[in-house]
Amino acid sequence: MARKSRKAEQLRQEIISSVPAEQRKMITQPITFTYLNGEMTMMQTRIQTMIMEKLQVKIRRAFDRKAIQGYFGDLFDSDDYKPIYENDRTKYLTFKVEYSELGIEPSHYSDVDVAAKAMMRIIYEKEVDGYTRNIVAFPVVDIPDKSKGERRTDIKLHMTKSTAEDLFKMIPYHMYLKDAIFLFSSNYAGRIYLLINANKQLGTWTVEYEKLRKILLTTYDETTKKATVDKYRDISDFKKRVLEPARREIADAADRVDCTFDYEFRYPAGKKRGTPEAIVFHIHLTDLGRRINQKKLESKYNKNTVQKEAVEESASGPDMKLF
């Protein structure tokens, strides 16, 4: 990145650090979306975060509905799904992400194009009739055509209705700092931050070694429709290339993120070295994380009081509307 870009980024991070905890932008995201399989770049993780940011109003409404009426319901309306090809019966959910939202200068927009195209290799697994089916999360991606002089304003990522129902209708969800995703420069720090964030209330998160590799390192062949995990098979390489860079980068940003981590390897019985069967993440809330938790508790208390009053008023007055 150019020197000017580094200075601008440094200034932006200083501004972010000065923002009080209660004013930091939090993203609520389904864990199914966090656990998507694919070797994402830093830019892809940012794209993922911007997709989620555009859904925050819908997600809040769904949780309000669950709190008051007892069910989460569908996140999207039927009108949200539209065909993207002429005479096509398949309807898609379309996410538009602007280049300017991704924290880079126009000279790096080509990096966004590459990352957006690679989003068509991000998959999730679904059990179907005794088989594990690999499903592409974003089967269609639109990128501005530079050869025709198209001005680069945004990219579009399209998701089928069945996929949207699989990924967004399920709970639990978790909340993370949007700004944190824009802090990291390595490919794995952002992804691992999301994973430990999804489990931070537990304090520890134990995950099978091969499952973690699948989440972080899956490559999907669009031609053969097969998913493979061939990178960093040796635990020493995985530690050197994935775990340690992510741990250090997140630790270095401890004053700007809500959680950090350490880890240890769990081996099969009787073994003390070689390939571990699982990795145990020890997750630590930072001072910022504790302040955010306190604000969440206060907000939840106030919200529960308002909801209780709304329900009581609804019961006493038939014309009372909750939404």
Domain coordinates in residue numbering, the chain: 29-175
List Cα–Cα distances, 135 to 56, 118, 122, 219, 302, in angstroms: 24, 15, 8, 13, 41
d(CA 205, CA 145) in angstroms, rounded, equals 44
Q: What tens-digit pLDDT sequence spans the chain (323 residues)? A: 444 456 655 555 554 455 555 557 899 999 999 999 999 999 999 999 999 999 999 999 999 988 898 888 889 999 999 999 888 889 999 999 999 999 999 999 999 999 999 999 999 999 998 888 899 999 999 999 887 767 889 999 999 999 999 999 867 899 999 999 999 988 999 999 999 999 999 999 999 999 999 999 999 988 888 999 999 999 999 999 999 999 999 999 999 999 999 999 999 987 888 899 999 999 999 999 999 888 877 766 555 554 444 334 333 333 322 22
d(CA 62, CA 56) in angstroms, rounded, equals 10
Beta partners for 208? 278
Specify the pTM: 0.84
d(CA 64, CA 238) in angstroms, rounded, equals 41
d(CA 19, CA 298) in angstroms, rounded, equals 19
